[in-house]
Structure 1
Amino acid sequence: MDTTASTVTATTVATRFAQIGGRRIAYRELGTGMPLLLCLRFRGVLDSWDPAFLDRLAAHFRVITFDYSGLGQSSGEASYRAEALARDAIDLADALGLERFVIGGWSLGGMAAQVVTALVPERVSHLILIGTTPPGRLEHAPDPIFFERALKPENDLEDETVLFFEPLSARSRAAAAASHLRIAARGADRSPPIAPEVYLRLLKDRSADDLFPDTAGYRDFLARAGIPILVIAGDHEIVFPTPNWYPLVRDWESLHLFVLPRMGHGPHHEAPELVGDLITSFIHNR
């Protein structure tokens, strides 16, 4: 654990830029130690992460977050195809000189993280997946309420509570409000939200696909790769239902599934210290 005193936190850390292949990737990094590269959710930008979660991880790791190409503060051509998002992560790792790193992702970012692992397995020490889905055909589909809320031009606290938390739990609703305030605390140097016409176009570009098309045998590769995989999910996951992982627990050699009760799509925002400590323990002990 890094015990060096510092006033820099996830709320105040400056945005940096890497020039990569004719495009500019906006990123932030916090902490020291083993690099932990985190990939974003649908409609996510740098300021979509809960600072408490990042700060918890930064006590042990060099935590790196970034905006995908063409989104937030990054330039270039935007895409929501997992291979394009994975290429952003790999290119940023190359630009930062990361020979070996932990790759993580939330939701859509979890798909990107799985592709990164399949493309450069020799560089990935651990794969951390939060509120996401395995590749290929799925038995359990998203709850329609996800699309009703997620595609609105603007999401308020009530939308966030439904999308990322467990609205039937008073404790979860309180956690949603607290997380909302932490995310809003950054006053400057914020990444702009993604415009509706942009995210709708990106969704249309992949509308005929499975949620996570297994175009290159990712599912079989991850089952046998031997890279430690941690999946963290809420028991009320409306986007990527947690039961889709159950058949894989015994099939994927290195898969660990941790299900949190009375939580939704954003367990790391509801319980940032708990999830941060779980990730830390997993990386240090697997």
Structure 2
Amino acid sequence: MGSIAGRAATTPTNYVEVGNVRYAYRALGPADPVDKTPVLFLQRFRGTLDDWDPGFVDALAKTRHVILFSDQEIGTSTGTASKSVDEKARNAADFARALCLSAIDVLGFSMGGFIAQAIAINEPALVRKVIIIGAAGGGNPEAAPPTDIDFEIALHPEYTFEDVRYLFFTAGRGEETQAYLDRCATRTSDQEPPVTPGVIGKSVALIGDFINGKTSHFKKLKDLHQPTLIVSGDKDPFIPFKNIRTLFRELPNAQLLTYPNSGHGPHQQHPDEVAEKIEYFLSRS
């Protein structure tokens, strides 16, 4: 991959071919990090490369090779949108191998956290460590549902300031919400197109299958043996904290980091601090 120094707001979008599919990605970090294993970022529902918090990405990229990845039919990636979490996991693994990577750490946010679990379970030789942000395990009889209006807001054609505040932060966190939006606005060129309605519909279906227990992922959590860091807010409207604790309980080798008065995106509310905690987790043998 060569030197991939750069910053999240300006680093160019690159592409790699896997069969007939062209995957979009951005890579940044130190030219010669102590640890050569890159961190592959797996994005949330409706998220593109542009929706990663540049402050958080830059903070982790001070010490780590960071690769932001877009699955098929997301942004400028080609192909056909995935219909299952396992299909998304296979695509991410194929992408990593196309970059000649034999080992990766994975960081998944929200829907990306579902994918991170699947790729770690399905590809134990490829995935070294796992970071899950704002996500729980697959559906099970103990799971509590999200609040009623979450998906209604998440499906708005465009997000208002208050939509972003509600979905990713908590009440009283308007200043942090604006700071996140301001950081995202620093990228002014080489931007990705928004996710299309057809792809959004497929994502809704695969998320529903996962959280409603129509897949077998919850039963497979015992097979996820890689060291795992779960990062959550205690007031996440999408993922009730009860479900986070259940994921922590079911994983053989997990740590749980919870931020008080924080919502679905604790890494967006506390970008530098969360990046520092992740670096500490990754650096320990």
Fold match by TM threshold 0.5: yes
In the alignment, structure 1 residue 45 sits paired with structure 2 residue 53: no
For residues 99 and 214 of structure 1, the distance between their equivalents in structure 2, rounded to whole angstroms, comes to 31
Question: 1:243 Cα deviation (Å)?
Answer: 1.2
For residues 82 and 9 of structure 1, the distance between their equivalents in structure 2, rounded to whole angstroms, comes to 30
Distance 1:37 1:208, change over 3 A: closer
Q: Deviations over 1:99-132 (max 9, x none)?
A: 1110110000011111100111122111100001
Letter in 2 for 1:69: Q
Aligned to 1:139: 143
> Superposed, which structure 2 residues align to 1:146-185 within 5 Å?
146-166=150-170, 168-169=171-172, 172-185=173-186
Secondary structure of the equivalent of 2:258? Answer: strand
Letter in 1 for 2:149: I
Aligned to 2:29: 31
Aligned to 1:11: 9
Question: Any unmatched runs of 5+ in structure 1?
Answer: none
> Superposed, which structure 2 residues align to 1:258-273 within 5 Å?
258-273=257-272
Secondary structure of the equivalent of 2:151? Answer: helix
Aligned to 2:196: 195
Secondary structure of the equivalent of 2:106? Answer: strand
Aligned to 1:229: 228
Question: 1:198 Cα deviation (Å)?
Answer: 3.3
Question: 1:146 Cα deviation (Å)?
Answer: 0.9
Question: Any unmatched runs of 5+ in structure 2?
Answer: 31-35
Preserved CA contact (<8 Å) 1:235 1:259: yes
Distance 1:244 1:116, change over 3 A: same
For residues 236 and 46 of structure 2, the distance between their equivalents in structure 1, rounded to whole angstroms, comes to 18
Q: How many residue pairs were aligned?
A: 277
Preserved CA contact (<8 Å) 1:40 1:108: yes
Question: 1:249 Cα deviation (Å)?
Answer: 3.4
Distance 1:225 1:197, change over 3 A: closer
Distance 1:273 1:207, change over 3 A: closer
Q: Which aligned segments of 4 or more residues in structure 1 are displaced greater than 3 angstroms?
A: 205-208, 212-216, 218-222, 247-251
Question: 1:133 Cα deviation (Å)?
Answer: 1.5
Distance 1:178 1:103, change over 3 A: same
TM-score (norm 1): 0.90
Distance 1:22 1:256, change over 3 A: same
Aligned to 2:118: 115
Question: 1:281 Cα deviation (Å)?
Answer: 0.4
Aligned to 1:186: 187
Distance 1:66 1:212, change over 3 A: farther
Q: CA RMSD in A?
A: 2.0
Preserved CA contact (<8 Å) 1:133 1:212: no
Residue identity (%): 35
